[in-house]
Amino acid sequence: MTYTVRAPAKINLHLGVGAPREDGFHPLLTVYQAVGICDDVTVSRSAGWSLGVTVPDWIDPDLVPDPGDNIVDRAARLLADHHGIEATAEVSIAKSIPMAGGMAGGSADAAAALVALDRLWGVETSDDDLLRIAAELGSDVPFALLGGTALGTGRGELVERVRDDGTWWWVAVVDPEGMSTPAVYRHFDELNPDADPEPPRADDLLEAIDTGDLDLLAASLRNDLQEAAFDLRPSLSDVIDRGERAGALRGLVSGSGPTCVFLAESADSAREVAAQLTGDGHDVVLVTHGPVAGAHVVTYV
Ligand code: ATP
C-alpha cells in the first residue's frame, strides 16, 4: 500500500503575541489560514525506515535537514511510540512550501506524515490523540491537520475552526534566505520588554471573515512579529512597499518571515501584482488562495 497525503502552508492573518510565559513560549492569539501551496508526503510499506526529500529548483537542497533530523522522523517516532509499534516505512517528501519561510512547511510535513502513517500502519488514531501528538511536534502542526481558517490560542496549538465562506487571493514573495523563528521571537522580546501577557485580540479581522468584507480584512491584517523581522532583514519593508504599489490591497510578513504575503482583490489582480514583483527582480513569486483543506489523503494505491 502507498499513501500520498497533502498538507498546506499557512498564513497568519492576525498574529498577536504576548509576553513570554514561564515555559519560555509566547502566548499567541492568531488567525491561521491554510493556502494552496502544499507539500506531499508519500509513504509505503518497508522493513526499515527511510526518508527522502525532493525540492523544486528554487529551494536550496542544502536547507533540507539530514536524515534523522527531519520533523517527519520525529512525527513517525511519536506516532509509533503512542501505539507501541516500530516505525517502519519508506517515506518521501515533495516540498513546495518555502523552507524556513514563516509558512510552517515543516509543520505541514509533520501533519501529512501523521495522517499518512496512521493509514499505512492501520492504527486508527483518534482525532484527539492525533491533535495531541501534533501539538507535541510543534505549535503549528495541529493547524496543518485542521486547515481552513482557524483561531489559534495557547502557543498556537489550540485550534478552533472559524467559518470562512470567502476565497481570498494571495501573492507570496519568497526570500532565498530563510530566517530563524526563535531569533525573530528573541528580537520581539528586545523590542517589546513591556509586552502585555495577554496577546492582542482579532475582533475586526474575525468580523471581516464572517461578513466576507475584503477591505476590512485588508485593514485588519496584523503581525506583531513584523517589526522584529524588518529589523533583522531591512529589505523586507521594501518588498512590502513594492507589492502595495503594484496594486495589492495590503502586504505583511508571513509569521516570523521572511516570506511576504499580499492580499489581492481577485485572482487576476493577484497575477498582475505577481507579474510586477517578478519584473522587479523577485525570482520566486507564487499566486495562491485560501482557505484550503488541512492534511488529507490525495492518492492511495
Ligand atoms: P514556522 O513558521 O513553523 O516557524 P517556517 O516556515 O519558518 O516554520 P520550516 O520550513 O517549517 O520553517 O522549517 C523550520 C526549520 O525546521 C528548518 O530550518 C529546518 O531545519 C527544520 N525542518 C525539519 N524538518 C523539516 C521539513 N520537513 N521541512 C522543512 N524544514 C524542516
Which residue, among 114, 101, 102, 100, has the nearest Cα to 7 in the 3D structure?
114
**Catalytic site includes residue 95:** no
Q: Is the pLDDT of residue 269 over 90?
A: yes
**Catalytic site includes residue 128:** no
The residues lining ligand 1, judged by C-beta closer than 6 Å to any ligand atom, are 65, 70-72, 93, 99-107, 109, 140, 178, 181, 255-256
pLDDT in tens, 24-63: 999 999 999 999 999 999 999 999 999 999 999 999 988 8
Work out the average pLDDT over 170-197. 96
The rounded distance, in Å, linking the Cα atoms of 260 and 253 is 4
Q: Domain check: are 250 and 274 in the same one?
A: yes
Considering only CA atoms, which residue is closest to atom 30 of ligand 1?
Answer: 106
* 110 CA → ligand 1 middle, Å: 10
Q: Is the pLDDT of residue 295 over 90?
A: yes
Q: Domain check: are 126 and 257 in the same one?
A: no
Q: Domain check: are 251 and 109 in the same one?
A: no
Which residue, among 197, 75, 199, has the nearest Cα to 135 in the 3D structure?
75
Rounded percentage of the chain residues whose pLDDT exceeds 90: 95
Q: Domain check: are 238 and 150 in the same one?
A: no
Q: Domain check: are 178 and 156 in the same one?
A: no
The rounded distance, in Å, linking the Cα atoms of 23 and 265 is 41
The rounded distance, in Å, linking the Cα atoms of 41 and 295 is 10
Which pLDDT belongs to residue 215?
Answer: 97
Atom of ligand 1 nearest to the CA of 71: 24
User: Where residue 133 sits, what CATH number does that domain have?
Assistant: 3.30.230.10
User: Hey, what's the cell of 202?
Assistant: 482579532
Q: How many CB atoms neighbour CB 167 within 10 A?
A: 12
Q: Is the pLDDT of residue 67 over 90?
A: no
Q: Domain check: are 106 and 203 in the same one?
A: no
User: Where residue 192 sits, what CATH number does that domain have?
Assistant: 3.30.70.890
Q: Domain check: are 155 and 241 in the same one?
A: no
Considering only CA atoms, which residue is closest to atom 16 of ligand 1?
Answer: 106
Residue-number span of the structural domain to which 226 is assigned: 168-290
Work out the average pLDDT over 154-182. 96
pLDDT in tens, 118-141: 999 999 999 999 999 999 999 999
Which pLDDT belongs to residue 91?
Answer: 98
**Residue among 39, 109, 118, 140 flagged as catalytic:** 140
Which segments within 45-179 are labelled E, that is strand? Answer: 49-54, 89-94, 149-153, 158-161, 168-173
- Per the listing, cell 505549535 goes with 139
* 71 CA → ligand 1 middle, Å: 8
Q: How far apart are the first and last CA of the chain?
A: 6
Phi-psi region of 36 (alpha: psi -120 to 50; beta: other; left: phi over 0): alpha
Radius of gyration of the chain (CA): 19
Which pLDDT belongs to residue 66?
Answer: 84
State the DSSP H helix or E strand holding residue 109, giving kind and residue range, or none if neither: helix 105-121
Q: Which long-range contacts (CB under 8 A, 24 or more apart) does 243-246 make?
A: 243/171, 243/173, 243/273, 243/277, 246/272, 246/273, 246/276, 246/277, 246/280
Q: How many CB atoms neighbour CB 80 within 10 A?
A: 18
Q: Domain check: are 188 and 270 in the same one?
A: yes
Q: How many CB atoms neighbour CB 32 within 10 A?
A: 30
Considering only CA atoms, which residue is closest to atom 2 of ligand 1?
Answer: 102
Which residue, among 135, 177, 143, has the nearest Cα to 10 in the 3D structure?
143
Q: How many helices (H) and strands (E) does the chain have?
A: 10, 12
Q: What is the pTM of this model?
A: 0.96
Q: Domain check: are 243 and 207 in the same one?
A: yes
Work out the average pLDDT over 10-22. 97
* 208 CA → ligand 1 middle, Å: 30
Q: Domain check: are 130 and 204 in the same one?
A: no
Q: Domain check: are 111 and 248 in the same one?
A: no
Which pLDDT belongs to residue 104?
Answer: 97
Which segments within the chain are labelled E, that is strand? Answer: 2-17, 28-44, 49-54, 89-94, 149-153, 158-161, 168-173, 222-223, 250-253, 260-264, 285-290, 296-300
Q: Average per-residue pLDDT in the chain? A: 97
Considering only CA atoms, which residue is closest to atom 3 of ligand 1?
Answer: 104
* Count of domains observed in the chain: 2
Q: Domain check: are 157 and 174 in the same one?
A: no
